[in-house]
């Protein structure tokens, strides 16, 4: 874990308070998306295909502060679009810091050199830099040459100026464990505080659909990475049980209220990833009116193969609170990298549609 002790203590205290108060659904990280506009057009992006009138919308400083106050999560992640395009971003970040919330400002880093002096280093502020792999892999992922080099330059600059810096890495088709391991070695050598890593979610809105890695392949890939990582000093910014989940050793239900999303449409139901399920006008309305039971990779075909941290990190943290010994042992030993995996989730809605004859499932083929 790369997260400083002070932040771990704040989050730990918050979690214990929720438990003592008997709160069943509590937010862990607010996903604050103040705009969808971006200065890149990545193949696997599900955020930038909106018409210009939506891409031109911004959440104001006041709307952002209202979202932070309503939700009151101890951490705020600001993804996008590209947040550094937003003219009020320095003010928004300062407002979140003033509330003593930990803010992760996610950026592809293209504008960071130009805008860095608008920000002041703080234990509450982390630049989370988008990097999906080494040069060839990252530039292919973001569909533009030269982005890797500029991102690395920005990381070095931010570190030199005393900012907290993490790397946010999404894995797509064609990855192999050795390449990912070399990338993790490289970013650790750069001196970043930690890396968040997850398989890309197969956005229906993404320009290319064949880039996503799914099902058992994800878990095989993570097992391969963790096997190599046993003797390396990588700092992955996830709970040990979420990493164990990525390696196919935990069956978890999604708990998307742990990472609620506020964007230019309102509070997005149920999560950051599914865009067409409606919105709520307030955080409380989101909690009260979202049919949470309809979502999750064992429930809904739209969620099939999803292992994103916005759905499952909060579940893993909850499991850790209920089973601290399991969490501790997994943290000490690392995720299991061989033996059986838990069964692949099969969305119930799909299972229910399988036709049967006297209770025996039958396969139906369409005539040409
Ligand atoms: S994935 Fe991120 S950097 Fe790429 S286009 Fe989407 S918002 Fe921009
Ligand atoms: S499984 Fe959870 S996080 Fe993933 S798309 Fe479905 S609701 Fe969202």
Return the number of other C-beta atoms located less than 10 Å from residue 317's C-beta: 21
State the average pLDDT over residues 302-328: 94
State the average pLDDT over residues 150-164: 98
Question: What CATH number is attached to the domain comprising 347?
Answer: 3.20.20.70
Distance 256 CA to ligand 1 centre (A): 21
| Closest to 240 (Cα-Cα) out of 345, 128, 329 | 329
- Confidence at 349, pLDDT banded by 50, 70, 90: low
What contacts 133, CB < 8 A, 6 or more positions away?
Answer: 141, 169, 175, 179, 180, 183
For ligand 1, atom 2: residue with the closest CA: 81
Element (H, E) at 357: strand 356-357
Element (H, E) at 179: helix 177-190
Residues with C-beta less than 6 Å from any ligand 2 atom: 254, 256, 270-271, 273-274, 295-297, 303, 306, 308, 310-311
> Minimum mean pLDDT among 1-10, 20-29, 54-63, 341-350: which range?
341-350
Predicted confidence (pLDDT) at residue 184 exceeds the cutoff of 80: yes
pLDDT at 348: 66
Residues with C-beta less than 6 Å from any ligand 1 atom: 38, 40-42, 45, 47-48, 80-82, 108, 130, 142
pLDDT at 368: 36
The number of folded domains in the chain is 1
Q: Minimum-distance ligand to the CA of 260?
A: 2
pLDDT at 2: 72
Q: Minimum-distance ligand to the CA of 271?
A: 2
Q: Minimum-distance ligand to the CA of 129?
A: 1
Whole-angstrom distance, CA of residue 177 vs CA of residue 104:
27
Ligand 2, pocket-test mutation among 310, 315, 344, 350, most atoms within 8 A of CB: 310
Atom number of ligand 1 nearest to Cα 108: 3
pLDDT at 304: 87
The one-character DSSP state at 230 is T
State the residue range of the domain holding 52.
Answer: 5-365
Atom number of ligand 1 nearest to Cα 81: 7
């Amino acid at each position: 874990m790369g997260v400083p002790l002070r932040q771990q203590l704040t989050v730990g205290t918050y979690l214990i308070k929720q438990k003592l108060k008997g709160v069943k659904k509590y937010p862990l990280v607010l996903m604050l998306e103040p705009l969808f506009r971006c200065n890149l057009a990545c193949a696997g992006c599900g955020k930038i295909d909106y018409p210009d009138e939506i891409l031109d919308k911004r959440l104001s400083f006041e709307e952002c502060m209202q979202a932070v106050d309503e939700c009151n999560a101890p951490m705020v992640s600001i993804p996008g679009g590209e947040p550094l395009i937003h003219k009020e971003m320095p003010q928004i970040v300062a407002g979140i810091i003033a509330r003593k919330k930990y803010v992760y400002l996610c950026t592809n880093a293209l504008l960071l050199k130009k805008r860095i002096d608008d920000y002041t280093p703080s234990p509450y502020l982390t630049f989370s830099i988008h990097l999906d792999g080494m040069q060839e892999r990252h530039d292919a992922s973001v569909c533009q040459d030269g982005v890797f080099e500029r991102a690395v330059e920005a990381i070095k600059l931010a570190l030199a100026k005393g900012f907290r810096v993490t790397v946010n890495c999404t894995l797509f088709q064609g990855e192999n464990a050795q390449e990912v391991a070399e990338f993790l070695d490289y970013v650790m050598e750069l001196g970043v505080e930690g890396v968040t890593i997850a398989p890309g979610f197969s956005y229906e809105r993404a320009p290319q659909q064949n880039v996503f890695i799914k099902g058992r392949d994800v878990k095989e890939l993570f097992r391969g990475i963790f096997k190599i990582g046993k003797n390396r000093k990588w700092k992955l910014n996830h709970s040990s049980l979420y990493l164990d989940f990525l390696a196919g050793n935990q069956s978890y239900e999604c708990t998307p209220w742990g990472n609620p999303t506020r964007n230019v449409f309102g509070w997005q139901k149920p999560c950051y990833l599914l865009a067409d399920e409606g919105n709520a006008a307030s955080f409380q309305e989101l909690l009260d009116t979202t049919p949470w039971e309809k979502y999750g990779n064992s429930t809904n075909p739209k969620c099939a193969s999803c292992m994103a941290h916005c759905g499952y990190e909060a579940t893993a943290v909850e499991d850790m609170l209920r089973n601290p010994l399991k969490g501790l042992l997994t943290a000490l030993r690392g995720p299991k990298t061989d033996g059986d995996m838990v069964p692949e989730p099969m969305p119930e809605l799909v299972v229910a549609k399988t036709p049967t004859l006297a209770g025996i499932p039958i396969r139906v083929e369409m005539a040409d």
